[in-house]
Structure 1
Amino acid sequence: MFKWKKFLVTGALCALSVMTLVGCGGQQAAAPSSSSSSSGVATTIKVGSAVDFAPFEFQDEGQAEYQGFDMDLIRAIGKEMGAEVEIQNIGFDGLIPALQAKTVDVLISGMTINDERKQNVTFSDPYYQSGLTMVVRKDEQSIQKFQDLKGHKVAVQIGTTSANEVKKIEGVEVKEFNTPADCFMELKTGGADAVVNDRPVSEYFITKSGQTDVKELPDMLTAEDYGIAVAKDNKELADKINAALKTLKENGEYDKIYDKWFGGAKK
């Protein structure tokens, strides 16, 4: 995910989480490489993450450990690999340089898999698909796909990609609001027929607010996959991460982590 988009999503969630950039591990330099067991699996995996992107990685006031979907997932992957996970908070722009300098072994930070980054890192299999989705009232039947929005009122957060993309759909009355909470209130009161926002923003808000009278639709206007990054020349580690991720999906642990942060929404 590009830095400007991370900023927009974080801003949308600031009312829900108090985030800091100080804590567990901080930004102190680490040893160039992880210690390894005789089996070849690192006993400690040094993980870099920009801990300012709820619900993927953040630090709540009064909490010592970093929290979020990415944080729980990488710890579960480490456990499956038989390794301890040491998380370092690094600015997003500094993540790939830290990986190249071998300050860290792994990156997980809501990072979109794209061709530009593939030139510098090796990505795991995708572990999350983001993009723009719709939320409607639970009894809504006339809206199933984005093309069905024609003739309807749609609430969006001002200044976001969702606002820009919905404005491109012909025949839609776009209503812009400052926060996701305002968008959902407009939907609840009947002033809007749908809310369009980034998938994690909508799912996390629904989970945190406990709303049960709305539903997220499976149709996605844009899509981007998130991946775990390792050094370009470290395919062995990428393979081990992929194997652990596959196991977590097969044994249900991935679903448990997903449901914790996104309330059992579409995976």
Structure 2
Amino acid sequence: MRWVEFGIGMLVATAVAAGCSAPPPEPQAAPHRLQEVVQRGELRVCSTGDYRPFTYRDEAGAWSGIDIDVARDMAEELGVRATIVPTTWKTLLDDFAARCDIAVGGVSITLERAQRAFFSTSFGVDGKTPITRCEDVGRFHTLEQIDQPGVRAVVNPGGTNEKFARQALKRATIVEHPDNNTIFQQIIDGRADLMMTDASETRWQSRQHPELCPVHPEQPFTFAEKAYLLPQGDVAFQQWVNHYLTIARNDGTYQRFAAAWIG
């Protein structure tokens, strides 16, 4: 009987102790970037400003381009302001991680970038192809023709253009030019023979500079997709951006922004 009484006493004591101790608090989920942007009242947009028709920053500091218009429209949909943060192709990933919510401006999806960030759904297919003086188009149809001693290929440091050129060219001379806004003038002035860049850029630049012609932009040397750079691991923000792009590309919004640049 004493053991029964002892057992009952232990059960009562345990029940009382359990009732007195509060359950552990539920872990609070960290706010995702979409919530942060709305709470902050600001969408921070990294862009290089040197890759028309997607992004351009003029000498007075004014920003324009297809992707700049898209980013501003995203901000408006969220009820916040868009702040454009200047970056370079060489520092894009570091600047994005430290200072921005999204990066835009003709950003190509690469496996290297995908190690450190998410991408939005792709909104275009592109690839590297040459642009040269129109009288020289016949000289540079193949990589073998380009990769010859005496051929000068100009590159903007830090991006996929430079990476492709250094991988593909072993005998040609690679000439660095730090300003992608003026790099095509180097070809016109005879300081370089060609540049290999995305087909979309060769088409746009050839319309601005009648002296320059793209070489087989419909059949580039490489395959790449264009997308927006997003915070790694944040599925909620990625889904919102993807939903925005789906709607914008089907209700005419994206086409309206693009028409001002590419017709």
TM-score by length of 2: 0.56
Asked whether the equivalents of residues 77 and 245 of structure 1 are also in contact (C-alpha less than 8 Å), the reply is: no
Partner Cα separation in structure 2 for residue 198 and residue 168 of structure 1: 18
**3-state SS of 2:205 partner:** helix
Asked whether the equivalents of residues 180 and 202 of structure 1 are also in contact (C-alpha less than 8 Å), the reply is: no
What residue in structure 1 maps to residue 11 of structure 2? none
1:86 aligns with 2:82: yes
Please show how residues 60-139 of structure 1 align to structure 2 within 5 Å.
Answer: 60-62=58-60, 65-79=62-76, 81-91=77-87, 92=92, 93-98=94-99, 104-135=100-131
Question: Which AA in structure 2 matches 1:253?
Answer: T
Partner Cα separation in structure 1 for residue 84 and residue 212 of structure 2: 39
What residue in structure 2 maps to residue 35 of structure 1? 38
What residue in structure 2 maps to residue 254 of structure 1? 254
Shift of the alpha carbon at 1:147? 7.4
Partner Cα separation in structure 2 for residue 214 and residue 231 of structure 1: 37
Equivalent residue in structure 1 for 2:154, among 157, 163, 181: 157
Root-mean-square deviation (Å): 4.3
For residues 137-161 of structure 1, the C-alpha deviation after alignment (integer angstroms, 9 at most, x for no partner) is 99999899747969x9987436855
Partner Cα separation in structure 2 for residue 82 and residue 196 of structure 1: 39
Inter-CA distance 220–85: structure 2 relative to 1 (3 Å threshold): farther
Asked whether the equivalents of residues 131 and 224 of structure 1 are also in contact (C-alpha less than 8 Å), the reply is: yes
Question: Which AA in structure 2 matches 1:33?
Answer: E
Shift of the alpha carbon at 1:133? 1.4
Partner Cα separation in structure 2 for residue 143 and residue 257 of structure 1: 36
Asked whether the equivalents of residues 106 and 226 of structure 2 are also in contact (C-alpha less than 8 Å), the reply is: yes
Shift of the alpha carbon at 1:71? 0.9
What residue in structure 2 maps to residue 26 of structure 1? none
Q: Which has the higher helix share?
A: 2
What residue in structure 1 maps to residue 202 of structure 2? 202
Number of matched residues? 208
Structure 2, unmatched stretches of 5+, are 1-34, 157-161, 178-182
Asked whether the equivalents of residues 33 and 105 of structure 1 are also in contact (C-alpha less than 8 Å), the reply is: no
Equivalent residue in structure 1 for 2:187, among 178, 183, 189: 183
Partner Cα separation in structure 2 for residue 143 and residue 125 of structure 1: 37
Inter-CA distance 33–137: structure 2 relative to 1 (3 Å threshold): same
Question: Which AA in structure 2 matches 1:72?
Answer: D
Equivalent residue in structure 1 for 2:55, among 51, 54, 57: 57
For residues 220-253 of structure 1, the C-alpha deviation after alignment (integer angstroms, 9 at most, x for no partner) is 1123333323333431221121122122222333
**3-state SS of 2:250 partner:** helix
Partner Cα separation in structure 1 for residue 97 and residue 222 of structure 2: 25
Question: Which AA in structure 2 matches 1:180?
Answer: F
Question: Which AA in structure 1 matches 2:73?
Answer: A
TM-score by length of 1: 0.56
Asked whether the equivalents of residues 106 and 230 of structure 1 are also in contact (C-alpha less than 8 Å), the reply is: yes
Asked whether the equivalents of residues 106 and 228 of structure 1 are also in contact (C-alpha less than 8 Å), the reply is: yes
Partner Cα separation in structure 2 for residue 33 and residue 66 of structure 1: 24
**3-state SS of 1:246 partner:** helix
What residue in structure 2 maps to residue 9 of structure 1? none
Shift of the alpha carbon at 1:89? 1.4
Tell me which structure has the larger Cα radius of gyration.
2
Structure 1, unmatched stretches of 5+, are 1-31, 37-41, 99-103, 187-191
**3-state SS of 1:96 partner:** helix
